[in-house]
Amino acid sequence: MRSWRRSNLPFSKPPITRCNILISQNYPILHVVVPLIAAPLMVLLRHGGFAWLLAAVASWSSLAVSAALLAEVAGGGVISYAIGSWAPPWGIEYRIDSVNAFLLVLVSLIASVVVIYCRESVEAEVAPEQHYLFYTMYVLCLAGLLGIAATGDGFNLFVFLEISSLSSYVLIALGRDRRALVASYQYLIMGTIGATFIVIGVGLLFLMTGTLNLADMAARLREVTDTRPILAALAFLTVGISLKLALFPLHLWLPNAYAYAPSAVTAFLAATATKVSLYVLLRFYYSVFGESAVFIAHPTSDILLVLSLAAMFIASTVAIFQDNIKRLFAYSSVAQIGYITLGVSFDSLTGLTAAIVHLFNHALTKGAIFLLLGGIALRLGAVRFQDIGGIARVMPLTSFGIVLAGLSLIGVPGTVGFVSKWYLVLAAIESGAWWLALLIVLSSLLAVIYVWRFVEAAYFQVPSASVSRLREAPLSMLVPAWLMVAACLYFGLDASLTLSGASQAAAELLPGSR
């Protein structure tokens, strides 16, 4: 790069006239840049209040930009953005299609809702002198997650993965429970192994194709399929990404990280981080390696199927026996991720639609639950079953919200959980596996048990003296949480918006959709 000549510059010279600034042209990068610039500004200002305001502005503007992008690609178009005007595949390309635009909206939407909630929750759970650092990490994490989703470059993806991971380790460690430090450290070790595997996989792909641009890589991979390095790359990427998305035997970091992180962080990460990793998996499987190379040449489907079933049953069973409610729902997250990967394992349009729609629906459901639990943590200081007895009498809105979101976890009709499970069952029947449909319903019964444990504790026990003194959670926390609960119900009753987005994304990933 140091010795280029002017004549062979691979760039298209842009018009230099100032009047030509079209902000909308730069949408594919702005949603990452705005939080990325907000982060150092917060450190310079060193003020918790300003930092919160900046974080809110950054999240909301990212949401606006992402929504505009989704609208632009809704017709099936693809936006390609060349960073630094170096034409892809030489330069870094940002590539927005209906798959990642859907995810961008999801991530920035959750961030925008959680940031309102943060104000009071962080006030209570994080030391005042660390507030500005909390919001710095929050927007950095947001920028990282959005960057992973938007980029079309293998190495850039890894860099953003590291940005989001490192900031989430810090966010988790800020929890007031001292065990948060250990949980964060555990996540750091596991996450770093995952990231290392991912970069080894990308490196092997680069070795064989000579390119880092994912679209270019996909085209060049056809010439070298069935070689050993490519198989190794597939294995490294699968394991590495599975670590980050907490697929069943690799989920060990997740329960502690979710249980001891500050409430707002748990809600934000539970709703976004694993979902973005799932997107990375889908992107590599379908857009880079290609469906046939992953699912037909290797028994990926069977492996995913077994691990998903194990996640659904084992993690749900473990969840039932948890004492800490946050930990309970963290294990439930592992189980729900199992449903998503189950949808992927069918390798069909319906299965993929189910996976993507559940990705969205579970983000809403778990986001709502963890936000509401944060309200209990704020008032009570703990979220263990023995402490919350009878809490529904003093915090009726919070408890009822958790019950509604819990119904969505079970998959009761009228909630988003039903929509995803319906499509999962459809996909199972479509692939001829009736027994799988039965297993999906059976595993939902396990969810009934752990949600019932909350109902029993909250509604049927007599409040203790310390519980009966409590008040309802503050409005600034209830409103964002209930927005999510309302979204769970709304998209459960009228699923046309989410389903059309998901099926379009699935069709985009499976070009010869059958």
Partner 1 sequence: MRNYLVLRVIAKLMIMFMVLFALYVQFHGDFGPGGGFQAGVISAAAIVFYGIIFGLPAAREVVPDRLVEVMIAAGVLLYAGVGVAGLLLGGNYLDYFVLGADPVDGQHRGIFWIEMGVLITVAGVMLKIFYMFAGRGDGGGE
Residue 181 contacts partner 1 per CB under 8 A: no
Torsion angles phi and psi, residue 178, rounded to 5: -65, -20
For 86, phi then psi, to 5°, come to: -85, 115
Q: Does 493 bind partner 1 (CB under 8 A)?
A: no
For position 39 contacting partner 1 by CB under 8 A, the verdict is: yes
Contact 334, 450 (CB under 8 A): no
Is 15 near partner 1 (CB under 8 A)?
yes
- 233 is a contact residue toward partner 1 (CB under 8 A): no
Shortest Å, Cβ 19 to partner 1:
8
What residues form DSSP beta bridges with 153?
Answer: 213
* Cα–Cα dist 288/220, whole Å: 10
The least distance separating partner 1 from the CB of residue 187, rounded to whole angstroms, comes to 21
Report the C-alpha gap between 254 and 332 in whole angstroms.
11
- Residue 34 token pair: 């705005």
Select from 18-26, 61-69, 224-232, 426-434 the region that touches partner 1 (CB under 8 A). 18-26
33 part of the interface to partner 1, by CB under 8 A: yes
Binding-site member from 8, 44, 178, 471 for partner 1 (CB under 8 A): 44
Does 178 bind partner 1 (CB under 8 A)? Our answer is: no
> Which of these ranges, 13-21, 47-55, 226-234, 296-304, lies near partner 1 under the rule CB under 8 A?
13-21
Strand pairing partners for 94?
81, 151
How many other CB atoms are found less than 10 A from the CB of residue 463? 17
Residue 61 structure tokens = 């503007």
Spatial contact of 400 and 343, defined as CB atoms under 8 Å apart: no
Structure tokens at 350: 């319906």
The answer to whether 13 contacts partner 1 (rule: CB under 8 A) is: yes
471 binds partner 1 per the rule CB under 8 A: no
| Cα gap 421→79, rounded to integer Å | 32
**Which residue in the set 7, 16, 223, 512 belongs to the binding site for partner 1 (CB under 8 A)?**
16
What is the SS3 assignment for 60? helix
CA distance 343 to 88: 33
Select from 7, 8, 18, 228 the one that contacts partner 1 (CB under 8 A).
Answer: 18
391-396 contact pairs (CB < 8 A, 24+): 391/457, 391/458, 391/463, 391/467, 391/470, 392/458, 392/459, 393/463, 393/468, 394/463, 394/467, 394/468, 394/469, 394/470, 394/471, 394/472, 395/470, 395/471, 395/472, 395/473, 396/472
Give me the least distance between CB of 40 and partner 1, in Å please: 4
Least distance in angstroms from the C-beta of 170 to partner 1: 13
Q: Rounded to the nearest whole angstrom, what is the least distance from the CB of residue 360 to partner 1 in the complex? A: 28
Q: Does 231 bind partner 1 (CB under 8 A)?
A: no
**AA letter at 416:** V
Give the other-Cβ count within 10 Å of 514's Cβ.
7
User: In this structure, are residues 150 and 100 in contact, taking their beta carbons and an 8 Å threshold?
Assistant: yes
Buried residues in 191-225 as b, exposed as e (16+ CB within 10 A): bebbbebbbbbbbbbbebbebbbbbbbbebbeeee
Q: Read off the tokens for 469.
A: 């003194």
84 belongs to the binding site for partner 1 (CB under 8 A): yes
Residue 44 or 465: which CB sits closer to partner 1? 44
Instruction: List the one residue from 24, 37, 429, 511 that touches partner 1 (CB under 8 A).
Output: 37
Q: Does 85 bind partner 1 (CB under 8 A)?
A: yes
Site for partner 1 contains 496 (CB under 8 A): no
Binding footprint of partner 1, residue count (CB under 8 A): 29
| Residue from the set 51, 58, 82, 126 that interacts with partner 1 by CB under 8 A | 82
Q: Does 192 bind partner 1 (CB under 8 A)?
A: no
Options 40-48, 314-322, 343-351, 497-505: segment touching partner 1 (CB under 8 A)? 40-48
Near partner 1 by CB under 8 A, which window of 21-29, 256-264, 323-331, 333-341? 21-29
> Is 379 within 8 Å of 456 (Cβ atoms)?
no
Q: Judge whether 116 and 480 are in contact, CB under 8 Å.
A: yes
Identify the residue among 48, 58, 69, 83 touching partner 1 (CB under 8 A).
Answer: 83
Q: Specify the residue, 17 or 496, whose C-beta has the smaller distance to partner 1.
A: 17
Site for partner 1 in 62-81 (CB under 8 A): 81
Kindly state the smallest distance separating residue 2's Cβ from partner 1, in Å.
Answer: 7
Of the candidate residues 43, 429, 441, 442, the single one contacting partner 1 (CB under 8 A) = 43
Binding residues for partner 1, per CB under 8 A?
2, 6, 9, 11, 13-18, 20-21, 26, 29, 33, 36-37, 39-44, 46, 81-85
